[in-house]
Amino acid sequence: MSNLLSLLFGCRHKQDRLSRPFTHSNQTYKVCLDCGRHVPYDAVLFRPLTRSEIKETASGGTRCEPGYR
């Protein structure tokens, strides 16, 4: 049943089903162990980024930590 819901509504990327953080090409992310999608991650605040934070950084946001982007 949950596979059907994931198919219809997409994966929810539960916190306990994310890998450890990886940094590659100056981008930090976790990988969802259910669907394989990269979930952007803030290595300074130690939490996944929200959709609004992702949009902010994609449009030249104000983050200035080294290695971030």
Over residues 21-48, the pLDDT tens digits come to 999 998 999 999 988 999 999 989 999 9
What DSSP designation does 36 have? Answer: -
d(CA 35, CA 64): 31
> Most distant CA pair in the chain: distance in Å?
44
pTM: 0.65
Q: What size, in residues, is the chain?
A: 69
Q: What is the mean pLDDT of residues 2-27?
A: 81
Q: What is the three-class DSSP state of 20?
A: coil
Residue 9 has phi, psi (to 5 degrees) of -110, -5
d(CA 54, CA 9): 20
